[in-house]
Amino acid sequence: MSDFRMETFVLGDVSTNCYLIYNQKSREAVVVDPADNGAFVLNKCRELQVKPVAILLTHGHFDHILAVEDICRAFSCQVYAGREEDRLLQDSSMNLSTMMGTERTIVCADVLVKEKDELSLADFKWNVLETPGHTAGSVCYYIPSEQVLFSGDTLFAGSLGRTDLPTGDQKAIVSSIREKLLPLPEETKVFPGHGEGTTIGRERRYNPVRMYGGGK
């Protein structure tokens, strides 16, 4: 039986999904997109008796990063983000934290990841997929052993991420989904940055990205 466990928290004014993944045996944890409520996430870590060893960011928009500092201060864990996202993370106008009535926020990632990187965190192997489009440095994280994908704001259930914000690119996001995500095994469970989960099989059949540019 797998030691993989996951909790999902919906946090903030735009209902961002924060994922707490942990190893049942070692009690080490990874936070994917900590959203805006560090106190809540830290309290859940205490309740579950887990210790975050890393924060994985799918991209740098304000609603995914506001709690980074609180969690890092409590656990001294490293922050991972896409190699092309560094500029957006460190610019409060680009990450929208100065435009949405929230505190001006910047994040300095400790590790900048790229395509085909394999991370070993909480005794699980995480594959990095570079998926530009929602932002230039958007990435997704795939755990092959569990057939789980954290898709950020790239792929949603029956939809795809918006591309009208800084560094967004509609052609790029369509290519990212078609070339990087839809080829994954169809039983792969997809956990997006907002909204309900889905599967790769379902998105192959129903996601409107199939129709963009006459795609299959």
Tell me, what's the pLDDT at 100?
61
Tokens of 2: 């797998």
Does position 212 have pLDDT exceeding 80, yes or no?
A: no
- Mean pLDDT, the chain, whole residue set: 95
Tell me how far apart the alpha carbons of residues 121 and 43 are, in angstroms, rounded to a whole number: 21
Q: Which fold has domain 4-214?
A: Metallo-beta-lactamase; Chain A (3.60.15)
Tell me, what's the pLDDT at 98?
84
Could you report the per-residue pLDDT of 159-185, keeping only the tens digit for each? 999 999 999 999 999 999 999 999 999
Question: What size, in residues, is the chain?
Answer: 216
Question: Does the global pTM surpass 0.85?
Answer: yes
Tell me how far apart the alpha carbons of residues 184 and 95 are, in angstroms, rounded to a whole number: 29
For residue 192, the number of C-alpha atoms closer than 13 Å in the C-beta half-sphere is: 21
Amino acid sitting at position 97? S
Mean pLDDT of 23-30: 98
Could you report the per-residue pLDDT of 41-91, keeping only the tens digit for each? 999 999 999 999 999 999 999 999 999 999 999 999 999 999 999 999 999
Distance of CA 124 to the CA centre of its chain: 16
